[in-house]
Amino acid sequence: MIKALRSVLAPFAAALLLFSPTYLHAAGDTPGSIFNSLSTFSQSLGLSGSDEPRFMKPDDAFIMSAEIQDPNTLVVRWDVEENYYLYRERFAFKLIEADGIELLEFRAPKGRLKEDENFGEMEVYFDEAVVTLPLKRANLASTPIKLDVTYQGCAEDGFCYPPITKTVDFELPVATASTAELSADSAVFVPEHERIAQELASDGKWLMILSFFGIGLLLAFTPCVLPMMPILSSIIVGQGEQVTTRRAFSLSLAYVLAMALTYTIAGVLAGMFGQNLQIMFQNPWVIGSFSLLFVVLAMSMFGFYELQLPSALQSRLDALSRKQSGGSVVGAGVMGFLSALIVGPCVAAPLAGILIYIGMSGDAVFGGLSLFVLSLGMGTPLLLFGTTAGKFLPKLGDWMNNIKAVFGVMLLGLAIWMLERVASPQATMFLWSALLIGTAVYLGALNQLEVNATGWQKLWKGLGLAMLFYGAIVMLGAASGGRDVLQPLHGSSLLGSSSETEKHLAFKTIKSLEDLQREVKSASNSNRAVMLDFYADWCVDCKIMEKRTFTDAGVHQALDNVVLLQADVTPNDDVDQALLKAFGLFGPPAILFFDTNGKEIKSHRVIGFMAADEFAAHVNRAL
């Protein structure tokens, strides 16, 4: 009976409140008082189901802050609580007591389109809204101004707050003539992954899916995908004389489709549950086992197993493989599945954008389709490469054995490259050295040339001698503390005192969210900004950033007086996963910035690799 009475009286209570003096006075009153009146009025009628109000106070649901970005720009931010949102169309800004200063049209990132039950289709902001307000200044002196900010938001459950107006006081600094004439056309920076997520949520998402195919083509030549080419090639070359163009296409297609399906399933799971399945496979046992598999395949390329296997067993296996031609296709598919999980776990901006869209919208079907098209774009060069290899590979003679040996060396190199994620730099440098020296011996570097040696024999011997010499340098560099096979003596004790520590950014390692909060608070107390770098040993792009970006003098200058923190998520334990999840990240590489007030500048996150010049300019914009 009581529940029925409440359901009948609730609409009348809301209507009474709508026309009450408190509501009508909302524009000039404190917004909290309106909400308190609603709670008090509902409770007085016995309509509240508990002592706690169902909806948050507007000041708690939409936490507003405003600051001066530069003498000609103001920035207004809102932190929006979960299950609440703000309307873009309800933003309004007005300058009062600001002689000689004009407010230009505001700029804001694109929001999400939402079918609102109160106003129809509207552009809204979840989580955060950032609005940039350009100023046109005739008065260049230091000037106090007042800004009226009006906004309106709703709760997902259907309750909408009245429009809220707040007044903010500023003391504009002195401006120069050049900055006063800045155009309002400069775009607000939106991270690529956020822009992709926004575009997927808009009407142009089908066109966006087509663009993902092109993005996938570009990603195919990144260090996270390129190593799949020797894997696929070794599968095709391993077929020996049975390789035809059709056969090579079938194997390549099985490999690419398995890879694409794996990326799609893993991505959908990451978007829905915030757990990157690929990262779970980046541990020493899995990496070591996969590297061992490459070594086993490489040894078969060199013909060792043909010599060791009994001829009777070899004949039976050969007959069985001829009868079951689909077996090798299944094997190619298995390798595509494993390669997608283990070889390339890097998180690029397009991938992060799709995962964010899946997580926000819950549209796993459309997000999965986007991932599948992206993966097909990544796999197209592999498909063309594998099919072409089947067409042009020689079928008979010693040429085939030589080509198989080349791919055997490539597989051994791939095994070492995988071990770099879990082994020490010195250990992997010794392995690279052994591979270089062994290959040099195979090429005849230590053999004496005959008097009538052909040009090819001389070329191979010269190449072997070069590899032998460089392999010796790599081994020497590893023994003296070197860490990079491409610069084996850099940082080693052979060159005397090294400037390695001066060239690289001096990060302070943190582990947990509590560590981060403590360091950010300490930096804020000393009026310093913070940069947080998410790193892992198995993240290829992270290591490239360390070598190419974090050693740049311009980057060092841009980060002067900035507290540098690094979260090493290599173990991927519960603490690492909790830290990633706290910021809605799916894995490294990711770089976050915090202002001098300890607040993250979400609009300037960096996901994926960024070159030195671009990164330095990005830091200057952010901080």
Instruction: Specify the CATH number for the domain of residue 134.
Output: 2.60.40.1250
Residue 358: CB partners within 8 Å, gap ≥ 6? 267, 268, 270, 271, 272, 364, 367, 368
In a domain? residue 50: no
More confident residue, 4 or 130: 130
Indicate whether 184 and 266 sit together in one domain. no
Residue 44 has pLDDT above 60, yes or no: no
Indicate whether 398 and 280 sit together in one domain. yes
In a domain? residue 53: no
pLDDT, tens only, 436-473: 998 888 888 888 887 787 887 788 888 889 989 998 99
Residue 179 has pLDDT above 70, yes or no: no
In a domain? residue 396: yes
- Three-state secondary-structure class, residue 84: strand
Indicate whether 226 and 311 sit together in one domain. yes
User: CB atoms < 10 A from the CB of 166, how many?
Assistant: 15
Give the CA dihedral 263, 268, 269, 270, nearest 10 degrees. 80
The first and second tokens of residue 434, run together, are: 């052994």
Give the CA dihedral 224, 230, 234, 235, nearest 10 degrees. 40
User: Which region holds residue 206: left if phi is over 0, alpha if psi is between -120 and 50, else beta?
Assistant: alpha
> Where among 390, 419, 448 does a domain terminate?
419
pLDDT, tens only, 200-227: 666 556 777 787 888 888 877 777 777 7
Confidence of residue 505 (pLDDT cuts 50, 70, 90): confident
User: Hey, which of 216-220, 596-600, 601-605 has the most confident mean pLDDT?
Assistant: 596-600
The amino acid present at 440, given as its one-letter code, is A
CA distance 35 to 47: 15
In a domain? residue 230: yes
pLDDT, tens only, 513-526: 999 999 999 998 99
Provide the domain limits for residue 15: 2-44
Indicate whether 306 and 356 sit together in one domain. yes
User: Hey, which of 34-43, 509-518, 537-546 has the most confident mean pLDDT?
Assistant: 509-518
The first and second tokens of residue 518, run together, are: 């403590």
Indicate whether 520 and 603 sit together in one domain. yes
In the block, tokens 């039950």 appear at 117
Residue 416 has pLDDT above 50, yes or no: yes
> Where among 496, 512, 530 does a domain terminate?
496
φ, ψ of residue 154 to 5 degrees: the values are -140, 165
More confident residue, 347 or 611: 611
User: Hey, which of 373-377, 395-399, 445-449, 530-534 has the most confident mean pLDDT?
Assistant: 530-534
Indicate whether 292 and 174 sit together in one domain. no
More confident residue, 131 or 36: 131
In a domain? residue 211: yes
Indicate whether 525 and 439 sit together in one domain. no
Give mean pLDDT, residues 386-406.
65
Burial class for 537, CB neighbours closer than 10 Å (0-12, 13-18, 19+): middle
In a domain? residue 52: no
Read off the CATH number of the domain in which 509 is found: 3.40.30.10
What DSSP string runs through 96-165?
Answer: ES-TTEEE---B----EEEEETTTEEEEEESSEEEEEEEEEES--S-EEEEEEEEE-EEETTS-BPPPEE
Indicate whether 295 and 430 sit together in one domain. no
User: CB atoms < 10 A from the CB of 131, how many?
Assistant: 22
Q: How far is CA 50 from CA 53, 54, 87, 170, 265, in A?
A: 7, 8, 29, 42, 42
Averaged pLDDT score across all residues of the chain: 75
Q: Point out which residues pair with 120 in neighbouring strands.
A: 116
| Per-residue b or e along 577-597, where b marks 16 or more CB atoms closer than 10 Å to that residue's CB | bebbeebbbbbbbbbbbbbee
Residue 587 in contact with residue 276, Cβ under 8 Å?
yes
User: CB atoms < 10 A from the CB of 126, how many?
Assistant: 17
Helix orientation angle between 349-361 and 364-392, rounded to the nearest 10 degrees: 150
Residue 581 in contact with residue 274, Cβ under 8 Å?
yes
Residue 229 has pLDDT above 50, yes or no: yes
Burial class for 188, CB neighbours closer than 10 Å (0-12, 13-18, 19+): middle
Name the domain count of the chain: 5
Indicate whether 230 and 322 sit together in one domain. yes
Indicate whether 508 and 412 sit together in one domain. no
Give mean pLDDT, residues 146-157.
90
DSSP code for 484: B
Indicate whether 233 and 362 sit together in one domain. yes
pLDDT, tens only, 301-335: 776 654 344 455 445 544 544 444 444 777 778 88
Rounded to a whole number of angstroms, the CA Rg of the chain reads 31
> Where among 419, 438, 461 does a domain terminate?
419
Q: Point out which residues pair with 607 in neighbouring strands.
A: 590
Give the CA dihedral 108, 114, 117, 118, nearest 10 degrees. 10
Give mean pLDDT, residues 391-407.
64
In a domain? residue 193: no
User: CB atoms < 10 A from the CB of 471, how many?
Assistant: 22
Burial class for 37, CB neighbours closer than 10 Å (0-12, 13-18, 19+): middle
Indicate whether 17 and 137 sit together in one domain. no
Which element (helix H / strand E) includes 507?
none
Beta-strand pair 563-568/530-535: parallel
Confidence of residue 548 (pLDDT cuts 50, 70, 90): confident
Residue 199 has pLDDT above 70, yes or no: no
**pLDDT for the residue numbered 494:** 64
In a domain? residue 49: no
DSSP code for 189: P
Beta-strand pair 62-70/73-80: antiparallel
In the block, tokens 């991505």 appear at 267
Residue 16 has pLDDT above 60, yes or no: no
CA distance 513 to 550: 24
More confident residue, 87 or 109: 87
Q: How far is CA 547 from CA 75, 101, 154, 541, in A?
A: 35, 47, 47, 10
The first and second tokens of residue 77, run together, are: 């931010």
